[in-house]
Amino acid sequence: MSAKLFDTSPPSMSDANALGPGAGFEAWYAGNRAGVLHELDTFLRKVDIEDLRDTGVDAILRQYVVGGKCVRSTFMYLGWLCGAQPDPAALRAAASLELLHGFALLQDDVMDDGVLRRGSAAAHVRLTDGHRERGLPGSAARFGNSAAILLGDMCLVWAEQMLRDSGIPDAALRRVWAGYDAMRIELAIGQFADLANDVRATPTMDSVLAIARAKSGNYTVLRPLELGATMAGCPERTLMMLARYGTRIGEAFQLRDDLLGIFGSAATTGKPEDSDLGQHKATSVVVAALEAGGIAVRRELTELLSLPELDAPAIARCRALIAASGAPDRIESMITDRVAEARAALADAGLDQDRYSALEQMALLCTARQQ
Protein backbone atom coordinates (compact mmCIF):
# COMPACT_ATOMS: atom_id res chain seq x y z
CA MET A 1 0.00 0.00 0.00
CA SER A 2 2.36 2.72 -1.23
CA ALA A 3 0.06 5.52 -2.43
CA LYS A 4 0.22 8.43 0.01
CA LEU A 5 -2.99 10.20 1.03
CA PHE A 6 -1.31 13.38 2.22
CA ASP A 7 1.98 14.72 3.45
CA THR A 8 2.54 13.50 6.99
CA SER A 9 5.97 15.08 7.38
CA PRO A 10 6.26 18.07 9.76
CA PRO A 11 6.04 21.46 8.03
CA SER A 12 9.19 23.54 7.85
CA MET A 13 9.65 26.44 10.25
CA SER A 14 9.01 28.89 7.42
CA ASP A 15 5.50 27.60 6.73
CA ALA A 16 4.50 26.24 10.15
CA ASN A 17 2.41 29.27 11.03
CA ALA A 18 0.69 29.29 7.66
CA LEU A 19 -0.14 25.59 7.61
CA GLY A 20 -0.78 24.85 11.26
CA PRO A 21 -0.65 21.36 12.79
CA GLY A 22 -2.17 18.58 10.76
CA ALA A 23 -2.44 20.70 7.63
CA GLY A 24 -1.77 17.66 5.45
CA PHE A 25 -4.77 15.84 6.85
CA GLU A 26 -6.95 18.94 6.80
CA ALA A 27 -6.27 19.47 3.10
CA TRP A 28 -6.96 15.79 2.38
CA TYR A 29 -10.18 15.86 4.39
CA ALA A 30 -11.38 19.01 2.64
CA GLY A 31 -10.57 17.51 -0.75
CA ASN A 32 -12.25 14.23 0.16
CA ARG A 33 -15.38 16.07 1.30
CA ALA A 34 -15.42 18.11 -1.91
CA GLY A 35 -15.22 14.88 -3.90
CA VAL A 36 -18.10 13.35 -1.92
CA LEU A 37 -20.26 16.45 -2.43
CA HIS A 38 -19.50 16.42 -6.16
CA GLU A 39 -20.58 12.80 -6.43
CA LEU A 40 -23.77 13.52 -4.49
CA ASP A 41 -24.59 16.55 -6.61
CA THR A 42 -24.08 14.50 -9.77
CA PHE A 43 -26.32 11.74 -8.46
CA LEU A 44 -29.08 14.09 -7.28
CA ARG A 45 -29.18 15.71 -10.71
CA LYS A 46 -29.75 12.28 -12.24
CA VAL A 47 -32.63 11.39 -9.94
CA ASP A 48 -34.30 14.83 -10.06
CA ILE A 49 -38.08 14.39 -10.04
CA GLU A 50 -39.81 17.08 -12.06
CA ASP A 51 -43.20 16.50 -10.41
CA LEU A 52 -41.76 17.43 -6.99
CA ARG A 53 -39.93 20.61 -7.90
CA ASP A 54 -42.78 22.89 -6.83
CA THR A 55 -42.57 21.50 -3.28
CA GLY A 56 -39.02 22.75 -2.73
CA VAL A 57 -37.64 19.22 -2.43
CA ASP A 58 -34.43 20.08 -4.29
CA ALA A 59 -33.35 22.66 -1.71
CA ILE A 60 -34.35 20.37 1.17
CA LEU A 61 -32.32 17.47 -0.24
CA ARG A 62 -29.26 19.68 -0.44
CA GLN A 63 -29.82 20.87 3.11
CA TYR A 64 -29.96 17.30 4.44
CA VAL A 65 -27.66 15.42 2.08
CA VAL A 66 -24.88 17.83 1.10
CA GLY A 67 -24.94 20.19 4.08
CA GLY A 68 -22.91 18.13 6.55
CA LYS A 69 -19.30 17.29 7.36
CA CYS A 70 -19.37 13.98 5.44
CA VAL A 71 -18.07 12.11 8.48
CA ARG A 72 -19.74 8.79 7.63
CA SER A 73 -18.59 8.76 4.02
CA THR A 74 -15.06 9.68 5.11
CA PHE A 75 -14.94 6.77 7.54
CA MET A 76 -16.21 4.37 4.89
CA TYR A 77 -13.58 5.57 2.44
CA LEU A 78 -10.87 5.27 5.11
CA GLY A 79 -12.03 1.69 5.70
CA TRP A 80 -11.48 1.07 2.01
CA LEU A 81 -8.04 2.71 2.11
CA CYS A 82 -6.97 0.35 4.89
CA GLY A 83 -6.92 -2.41 2.27
CA ALA A 84 -6.84 -0.76 -1.15
CA GLN A 85 -5.59 2.22 -3.12
CA PRO A 86 -7.53 5.47 -3.67
CA ASP A 87 -10.34 4.81 -6.15
CA PRO A 88 -13.07 7.13 -7.50
CA ALA A 89 -15.58 4.26 -7.45
CA ALA A 90 -14.89 3.62 -3.77
CA LEU A 91 -15.33 7.31 -3.01
CA ARG A 92 -18.63 7.24 -4.90
CA ALA A 93 -19.74 4.20 -2.92
CA ALA A 94 -18.81 5.92 0.32
CA ALA A 95 -20.70 9.06 -0.70
CA SER A 96 -23.91 7.01 -0.76
CA LEU A 97 -23.86 6.96 3.05
CA GLU A 98 -24.71 10.67 3.05
CA LEU A 99 -28.04 9.77 1.43
CA LEU A 100 -28.62 7.19 4.16
CA HIS A 101 -27.78 9.85 6.72
CA GLY A 102 -30.24 12.20 5.04
CA PHE A 103 -32.93 9.52 5.44
CA ALA A 104 -32.16 9.18 9.15
CA LEU A 105 -32.19 12.94 9.74
CA LEU A 106 -35.45 13.49 7.88
CA GLN A 107 -37.25 10.84 9.89
CA ASP A 108 -35.59 11.86 13.15
CA ASP A 109 -36.79 15.45 12.77
CA VAL A 110 -40.37 14.31 12.23
CA MET A 111 -40.27 11.93 15.21
CA ASP A 112 -38.69 14.54 17.48
CA ASP A 113 -40.78 17.39 16.08
CA GLY A 114 -37.50 19.24 15.50
CA VAL A 115 -37.75 22.71 14.05
CA LEU A 116 -34.15 23.34 12.96
CA ARG A 117 -31.63 21.30 11.01
CA ARG A 118 -28.21 22.64 10.08
CA GLY A 119 -29.26 26.16 10.94
CA SER A 120 -32.36 26.21 8.74
CA ALA A 121 -35.98 25.18 9.22
CA ALA A 122 -36.42 21.40 9.34
CA ALA A 123 -37.82 19.66 6.26
CA HIS A 124 -41.31 19.02 7.62
CA VAL A 125 -41.53 22.68 8.71
CA ARG A 126 -40.51 23.91 5.26
CA LEU A 127 -42.92 21.53 3.56
CA THR A 128 -45.72 22.59 5.90
CA ASP A 129 -45.07 26.26 5.16
CA GLY A 130 -44.97 25.54 1.44
CA HIS A 131 -48.35 23.83 1.62
CA ARG A 132 -49.84 26.92 3.30
CA GLU A 133 -48.20 29.35 0.90
CA ARG A 134 -49.64 27.52 -2.10
CA GLY A 135 -53.10 27.50 -0.52
CA LEU A 136 -53.53 23.75 -0.88
CA PRO A 137 -56.50 22.03 0.77
CA GLY A 138 -56.17 19.81 3.82
CA SER A 139 -53.92 19.92 6.85
CA ALA A 140 -50.62 21.67 6.14
CA ALA A 141 -48.93 20.03 9.14
CA ARG A 142 -50.02 16.55 8.09
CA PHE A 143 -48.76 17.20 4.58
CA GLY A 144 -45.41 18.48 5.87
CA ASN A 145 -44.80 15.50 8.14
CA SER A 146 -45.93 12.96 5.55
CA ALA A 147 -43.92 14.56 2.74
CA ALA A 148 -40.76 14.63 4.88
CA ILE A 149 -41.17 10.91 5.66
CA LEU A 150 -41.64 10.12 1.97
CA LEU A 151 -38.56 12.16 1.08
CA GLY A 152 -36.64 10.16 3.67
CA ASP A 153 -37.89 6.95 2.07
CA MET A 154 -36.57 8.16 -1.28
CA CYS A 155 -33.16 8.86 0.27
CA LEU A 156 -33.09 5.33 1.67
CA VAL A 157 -33.71 3.88 -1.80
CA TRP A 158 -31.30 6.27 -3.49
CA ALA A 159 -28.54 5.41 -1.01
CA GLU A 160 -28.60 1.77 -2.05
CA GLN A 161 -28.92 2.72 -5.72
CA MET A 162 -25.87 4.98 -5.54
CA LEU A 163 -23.85 2.25 -3.80
CA ARG A 164 -24.97 -0.40 -6.29
CA ASP A 165 -24.16 1.83 -9.29
CA SER A 166 -20.89 3.19 -7.89
CA GLY A 167 -18.65 1.16 -10.20
CA ILE A 168 -17.32 -1.11 -7.47
CA PRO A 169 -16.95 -4.66 -8.84
CA ASP A 170 -19.84 -7.02 -8.11
CA ALA A 171 -17.65 -9.37 -6.07
CA ALA A 172 -16.67 -6.54 -3.72
CA LEU A 173 -20.27 -5.35 -3.42
CA ARG A 174 -21.46 -8.84 -2.53
CA ARG A 175 -19.20 -8.72 0.51
CA VAL A 176 -20.93 -5.52 1.65
CA TRP A 177 -24.65 -6.27 1.49
CA ALA A 178 -25.00 -8.33 4.68
CA GLY A 179 -23.31 -5.64 6.77
CA TYR A 180 -25.19 -2.88 4.97
CA ASP A 181 -28.55 -4.50 5.74
CA ALA A 182 -27.55 -5.14 9.36
CA MET A 183 -26.53 -1.49 9.76
CA ARG A 184 -29.88 -0.23 8.50
CA ILE A 185 -31.84 -2.55 10.79
CA GLU A 186 -29.63 -1.58 13.74
CA LEU A 187 -30.33 2.09 13.00
CA ALA A 188 -34.08 1.47 12.94
CA ILE A 189 -33.96 -0.52 16.19
CA GLY A 190 -32.03 2.33 17.79
CA GLN A 191 -34.71 4.77 16.64
CA PHE A 192 -37.40 2.47 18.03
CA ALA A 193 -35.67 2.45 21.42
CA ASP A 194 -35.23 6.21 21.29
CA LEU A 195 -38.98 6.71 20.94
CA ALA A 196 -39.35 5.63 24.57
CA ASN A 197 -36.08 7.19 25.70
CA ASP A 198 -37.46 9.63 28.28
CA VAL A 199 -35.58 10.79 31.35
CA ARG A 200 -38.80 10.49 33.36
CA ALA A 201 -38.52 6.69 32.98
CA THR A 202 -35.25 6.81 35.04
CA PRO A 203 -33.05 4.90 32.57
CA THR A 204 -29.57 3.63 33.48
CA MET A 205 -26.34 4.85 31.91
CA ASP A 206 -25.87 1.44 30.26
CA SER A 207 -29.29 1.57 28.58
CA VAL A 208 -28.75 5.14 27.38
CA LEU A 209 -25.34 4.27 25.91
CA ALA A 210 -26.76 1.17 24.20
CA ILE A 211 -29.41 3.29 22.44
CA ALA A 212 -26.79 5.86 21.47
CA ARG A 213 -24.53 3.20 19.97
CA ALA A 214 -27.31 1.70 17.86
CA LYS A 215 -28.89 4.97 16.79
CA SER A 216 -25.81 7.06 16.15
CA GLY A 217 -22.37 5.90 17.23
CA ASN A 218 -22.20 2.65 15.29
CA TYR A 219 -23.65 3.96 12.09
CA THR A 220 -21.45 7.06 12.23
CA VAL A 221 -18.07 5.35 12.72
CA LEU A 222 -18.00 1.58 13.24
CA ARG A 223 -20.31 0.38 10.46
CA PRO A 224 -18.97 2.73 7.75
CA LEU A 225 -15.41 1.63 8.54
CA GLU A 226 -16.44 -2.02 8.40
CA LEU A 227 -18.28 -1.54 5.11
CA GLY A 228 -15.32 0.13 3.44
CA ALA A 229 -12.80 -2.39 4.77
CA THR A 230 -14.99 -5.35 3.81
CA MET A 231 -15.49 -3.91 0.34
CA ALA A 232 -11.70 -3.63 0.00
CA GLY A 233 -11.17 -7.22 1.16
CA CYS A 234 -9.18 -6.30 4.26
CA PRO A 235 -7.76 -9.19 6.32
CA GLU A 236 -9.35 -10.21 9.61
CA ARG A 237 -6.63 -8.48 11.64
CA THR A 238 -7.50 -5.14 10.07
CA LEU A 239 -11.24 -5.69 10.53
CA MET A 240 -10.74 -6.48 14.22
CA MET A 241 -8.63 -3.35 14.71
CA LEU A 242 -11.22 -1.17 12.98
CA ALA A 243 -13.94 -2.72 15.13
CA ARG A 244 -12.09 -1.79 18.33
CA TYR A 245 -11.29 1.69 17.06
CA GLY A 246 -14.73 2.28 15.55
CA THR A 247 -16.65 1.17 18.63
CA ARG A 248 -14.71 3.49 20.90
CA ILE A 249 -14.79 6.53 18.61
CA GLY A 250 -18.48 5.96 17.90
CA GLU A 251 -19.17 6.04 21.63
CA ALA A 252 -17.00 9.11 22.13
CA PHE A 253 -18.73 10.84 19.21
CA GLN A 254 -22.14 10.28 20.80
CA LEU A 255 -20.94 11.41 24.22
CA ARG A 256 -19.68 14.64 22.64
CA ASP A 257 -23.01 15.04 20.87
CA ASP A 258 -24.80 14.60 24.19
CA LEU A 259 -22.74 17.40 25.73
CA LEU A 260 -23.50 19.65 22.78
CA GLY A 261 -27.17 18.74 23.10
CA ILE A 262 -27.17 20.36 26.55
CA PHE A 263 -24.54 23.10 26.35
CA GLY A 264 -23.96 23.67 22.62
CA SER A 265 -25.19 26.79 20.86
CA ALA A 266 -27.55 26.69 17.90
CA ALA A 267 -24.74 28.14 15.80
CA THR A 268 -22.60 25.10 16.64
CA THR A 269 -25.19 22.33 16.45
CA GLY A 270 -27.60 23.73 13.86
CA LYS A 271 -30.44 22.66 16.19
CA PRO A 272 -32.43 24.51 18.86
CA GLU A 273 -30.45 24.97 22.07
CA ASP A 274 -33.26 23.46 24.16
CA SER A 275 -33.86 20.37 22.00
CA ASP A 276 -32.58 17.60 24.31
CA LEU A 277 -33.85 19.03 27.59
CA GLY A 278 -37.07 20.33 26.06
CA GLN A 279 -37.85 16.85 24.71
CA HIS A 280 -37.00 15.16 28.04
CA LYS A 281 -34.33 13.10 26.30
CA ALA A 282 -32.41 10.73 28.54
CA THR A 283 -28.87 11.40 27.36
CA SER A 284 -25.64 10.35 29.00
CA VAL A 285 -25.14 13.84 30.42
CA VAL A 286 -28.55 13.99 32.10
CA VAL A 287 -28.27 10.47 33.49
CA ALA A 288 -24.77 11.21 34.79
CA ALA A 289 -26.10 14.30 36.55
CA LEU A 290 -28.90 12.33 38.18
CA GLU A 291 -26.46 9.62 39.26
CA ALA A 292 -23.62 11.82 40.52
CA GLY A 293 -25.25 15.02 41.75
CA GLY A 294 -25.84 15.72 45.42
CA ILE A 295 -29.24 15.12 46.98
CA ALA A 296 -30.43 18.70 46.50
CA VAL A 297 -29.24 18.80 42.87
CA ARG A 298 -30.85 15.47 42.05
CA ARG A 299 -34.15 16.44 43.70
CA GLU A 300 -34.47 19.79 41.91
CA LEU A 301 -33.32 18.41 38.56
CA THR A 302 -35.79 15.53 38.80
CA GLU A 303 -38.62 17.94 39.62
CA LEU A 304 -37.79 20.17 36.66
CA LEU A 305 -37.44 17.28 34.22
CA SER A 306 -40.80 15.92 35.40
CA LEU A 307 -42.62 19.02 34.17
CA PRO A 308 -44.77 18.43 31.05
CA GLU A 309 -43.05 21.36 29.34
CA LEU A 310 -39.85 23.22 30.16
CA ASP A 311 -39.73 26.95 29.44
CA ALA A 312 -36.51 28.90 28.91
CA PRO A 313 -35.89 29.63 32.64
CA ALA A 314 -36.45 25.97 33.54
CA ILE A 315 -34.00 24.83 30.85
CA ALA A 316 -31.42 27.37 32.01
CA ARG A 317 -31.80 26.08 35.57
CA CYS A 318 -31.41 22.47 34.36
CA ARG A 319 -28.16 23.41 32.66
CA ALA A 320 -26.89 25.03 35.84
CA LEU A 321 -27.79 21.98 37.92
CA ILE A 322 -26.17 19.59 35.44
CA ALA A 323 -22.99 21.66 35.48
CA ALA A 324 -23.01 21.72 39.30
CA SER A 325 -23.42 17.93 39.45
CA GLY A 326 -20.03 17.30 37.86
CA ALA A 327 -21.63 15.38 34.98
CA PRO A 328 -19.84 17.33 32.19
CA ASP A 329 -16.43 16.47 33.67
CA ARG A 330 -17.45 12.80 33.95
CA ILE A 331 -18.53 12.71 30.31
CA GLU A 332 -15.33 14.49 29.22
CA SER A 333 -13.35 11.83 31.06
CA MET A 334 -15.32 9.08 29.32
CA ILE A 335 -14.57 10.69 25.94
CA THR A 336 -10.86 10.97 26.74
CA ASP A 337 -10.67 7.32 27.81
CA ARG A 338 -12.40 6.10 24.65
CA VAL A 339 -10.20 8.14 22.34
CA ALA A 340 -7.11 6.81 24.11
CA GLU A 341 -8.32 3.22 23.71
CA ALA A 342 -9.06 3.80 20.02
CA ARG A 343 -5.60 5.27 19.41
CA ALA A 344 -4.04 2.30 21.21
CA ALA A 345 -5.90 -0.02 18.83
CA LEU A 346 -4.44 1.89 15.87
CA ALA A 347 -0.91 1.59 17.24
CA ASP A 348 -1.09 -2.21 16.98
CA ALA A 349 -2.57 -2.29 13.47
CA GLY A 350 0.53 -2.06 11.30
CA LEU A 351 -1.02 0.60 9.05
CA ASP A 352 0.94 2.92 6.78
CA GLN A 353 1.71 6.23 8.46
CA ASP A 354 -0.76 8.22 6.38
CA ARG A 355 -3.66 5.79 7.04
CA TYR A 356 -2.78 5.75 10.72
CA SER A 357 -2.61 9.54 10.81
CA ALA A 358 -5.93 9.96 8.99
CA LEU A 359 -7.76 7.66 11.41
CA GLU A 360 -6.12 9.36 14.37
CA GLN A 361 -7.06 12.82 13.09
CA MET A 362 -10.64 11.71 12.37
CA ALA A 363 -10.92 10.49 15.95
CA LEU A 364 -9.94 13.93 17.19
CA LEU A 365 -12.17 15.74 14.69
CA CYS A 366 -15.23 13.75 15.80
CA THR A 367 -14.71 14.14 19.51
CA ALA A 368 -13.04 17.53 20.05
CA ARG A 369 -14.51 20.14 22.35
CA GLN A 370 -16.47 22.81 20.51
CA GLN A 371 -17.30 26.35 21.54
| DSSP code string of 304-321 | HHTSSS--HHHHHHHHHH
**Predicted local confidence at residue 113, as pLDDT:** 85
What is the distance between the alpha carbons of residues 213 and 355, in angstroms, rounded to a whole number? 25
The CB density around residue 148, as the number of other CB atoms within 10 Å, is 25
**Predicted local confidence at residue 274, as pLDDT:** 64
**Predicted local confidence at residue 22, as pLDDT:** 42
What is the distance between the alpha carbons of residues 73 and 96, in angstroms, rounded to a whole number? 7
CA-to-CA dists, residue 90 to 102, 177, 243, 278, 352, angstroms: 20, 15, 20, 41, 19
pTM: 0.90
Element counts in the chain: helices (H) and strands (E): 19, 2
In the chain, % helix, strand, coil (3-state, to 5) comes to: 75, 0, 25
Which residues of the chain register pLDDT less than 50?
Answer: 1-2, 8-22, 371
**Predicted local confidence at residue 6, as pLDDT:** 58
**Predicted local confidence at residue 53, as pLDDT:** 79
**Predicted local confidence at residue 270, as pLDDT:** 62
What is the distance between the alpha carbons of residues 90 and 25, in angstroms, rounded to a whole number? 19
**Predicted local confidence at residue 178, as pLDDT:** 97
The CB density around residue 330, as the number of other CB atoms within 10 Å, is 18
